[in-house]
A and B are shown apart, each in its own frame.
Chain A
Amino acid sequence: MRNLIEEIFVSAFSNDILCELGDSAVIRSGSAGKLAFTTDSFVVKPLFFRGGDIGRLAVCGTVNDLAVAGARPRFLSVSMIIEEGFPISLLKKITRSVTAAAREADVVIATGDTKVVERGAAEGIFITTAGVGDIPEHVSVGPERIDVGDAVLVNGFIGDHGVALILGRGEYDFKSDLESDVAPLAGMIESILMVCPGLHFMRDLTRGGIAAALNEVASASGKAIEVDEAAIPVRHEVSAVCHLLGIDPLNIGNEGKCIIICPARDCDTVLAVMQRHEYGRTAAVIGRVIEYGKAVVIGRTAIGSKRIIDMPSGRLLPRIC
């Protein structure tokens, strides 16, 4: 995917804003100051899963991309591509979800679009959302601000969304009450920025999980990150399913989780604010930025050794044995 983006789209659309390849584009817009602008498409299967649905996902995904850019999300657009014959009752259910998530995130759905395509041309429904938010002048987050010694935090259990989806697809005969973590993080992030306006970096953990996010951060900042694997919160159920399928929980997608990188002196304050918030109750400090001379992610393993946590490649496939 990364190659596809870089070789085809980035080279074709190349400009200073796009080439940053951040979660959101950061734009200076005259008297409006700094704006964050982002878009995302949602093609999830199944459309409804424990803890959420494609509608909630579409709002949260875009809101979170704006929030981790340091922005306060303001306006969203919602475009729906609907397959002919898709039940109106489900469409209403999804729309209700979109409305509820937007209200929770305090964003206005300012515009949208609807297309109906013939049967077979879409799997039920695809949703594309775009969003705009404003970034306070004093907030500036980016990989270039990351320093050696910075603390790395995560706002809770990882892998819940990916495993809930795997189970929701019914491909494997596992029974579980596990729910997706899909949630808008703008409120929590706003609280964090209030106590730590000098925070260095944030990223939401979506496809590729925490392993992909940490590797992208390392690569973009040119610094190494060391994490204590035992400190990364993983539910027992998630770890059991991953173990059975031969998948690393660190590579599994999330929709309500982010990593925060802040100066070490602010670490305890940020952690306390996160843990007081509904979406950060199980937040933890998982590692730090270290001097190593290479942009890698190093994991301290449970048995006291070290390993490289690599960038997940290709799609996750269960192992044979």
Chain B
Amino acid sequence: MLNDPRAAVRLVREIEGIALRLAPRRVTLMEVCGTHTAVIVKSGLRRLLPKNIQLVSGPGCPVCVTPPGLIDAAITLAGRPRVILVTFGDMLRVPGGGGSLEAARAGGADVRVIYSPTELFALARENRSSRIVFFSAGFETTAPSVAWTLMQAERSGIENLFVIAANKLLPPALEVLAQAPDLRIDGFICPGHVSAIIGASAFEAVARTHHVPAVVSGFEPVDILLAVLMLLRQVQAAKALVEIAYMRAVTFGGNRRAQVIIRTVFKRVDSEWRGFSLIPDSGLGFTKGYARFDAVMEAGMAVESGRPAPGCMCGEILRGVKSPEECGLFGTTCTPETPIGPCIVSSEGTCAAHYNQKTAGIDDF
């Protein structure tokens, strides 16, 4: 059913019906989540939508929004003796101000990739003479497992595990985007994974206060089409509500236990996003009881703001105000093989998605 072309066709027909009634108005919907971007590209979903319905990619790729200064700090830490720098896979190739963790590893630093934070536990035990520094980038989805791991580490008296806290919270960023003077967003396709943890009601402020409808979507192409349809119905009816198109995984209240685990270890702090500068209450720092796990503090380092490479427009692209084609580096000096900015690194990145279409001349087939 979820991959059934007939279901997709039915949804597209309904979408076309509303789009026709809304025309010539152009409706811009932002898919916030990088996984949604990847699914949209992989399923060719944009090509199925009417011309006046535009999908723009938002800041929902955690590696893309991590500021370059923090990546530089991780690289510095990785270069120190007896440090094992641990990260999730696609963080490896993202450029900071002057290099990536992958380049640091090629230069001799001990940089390792894990899939789940629970693996940190064994790593810390097996390498007692080293500091295990976990670069924790991600949204609300990964925060509970990081927090749970630290709770276990605290209980077990593990002393060589530290974390660069780079987790971010999505709703505050959506509020900033909803008010952006240079971009009019008519609706948000909200991330299913994040919403499973924090609950769909976390997006109430976006809808109620800023009058932008928000629909939580799953990760099958048909889920996303359903979310688009639900958003268009709201746009047509001039409503701005939070709705769920992913009832099989998401509730309005979310996962209370996960929320308690996050609150035990982390507290909300102001956080810098690539392309956004500082967003109030949009990041996770350590609570008092868990401050000893703070890798940056333990190393006595100061994280600089860091600068993206000259000419790189990833910041504007992450906010949806510029398209990759407007960036002078796109597809010339900046390619998936030679990334200058983060958006071309992961398959979730907007530039990576556009790059493949551009090199193929996608419009004419």
A interface residues with partner B (beta carbon < 8 Å): 3, 171-173, 245-246, 248, 292, 294, 296, 298-299, 301-308, 310, 313-314, 317-321
Contact = CB atoms under 8 A, between A and B. Distances in A.
A305 B35 contact: no
Interface in B222-274: 222, 225
A320 B62 contact: yes
A239 B174 CA distance: 32
B289 interface: no
Contacts of B33: 321
Given A301-B42, A302-B3, A304-B5, 20 more contacts: A171-B114, A299-B44, A302-B5, A303-B3, A303-B222, A305-B47, A306-B365, A308-B356, A310-B360, A318-B89, A318-B90, A318-B113, A318-B115, A319-B35, A319-B88, A319-B346, A319-B347, A320-B62, A320-B63, A321-B60
B282 interface: no
Given A245-B115, A320-B138, A303 B221 contact: yes
Interface of B: 3, 5, 8-9, 33-35, 38, 41-45, 47-48, 60, 62-63, 88-93, 113-116, 137-139, 141-142, 191, 193-194, 221-222, 225, 336-337, 346-348, 356-357, 359-362, 365
A321 B193 contact: yes
Contacts of B359: 308, 310
Contacts of A245: 115
A143 B137 CA distance: 44
B43 A319 contact: no
A3 B337 contact: yes
A172 B117 CA distance: 11
B45 A305 contact: yes
Given A298-B365, A304-B5, A314-B336, A172 B88 contact: no
A267 B138 CA distance: 48
B43 A301 contact: yes
B362 A308 contact: yes
A294 B62 contact: no
A313 B345 CA distance: 9
A305 B48 contact: yes
A213 to B, nearest CB: 17
B360 A296 contact: yes
Contacts of B361: 294, 296
Given A3-B337, A246-B35, A319 B116 contact: no
B142 A304 contact: no
A321 B139 contact: yes
Given A245-B115, A294-B360, A307-B41, A321 B337 contact: no
Which of A173, A298, A301 has its CB near the most chain B CB atoms (within 10 A)? Answer: A301
B357 A308 contact: yes
B48 A318 contact: no
Contacts of A299: 44
A248 B35 CA distance: 12
A317 B48 contact: no
A173 B141 CA distance: 18
Contacts of A304: 5, 8-9, 48
A320 B142 contact: yes
A318 B87 CA distance: 11
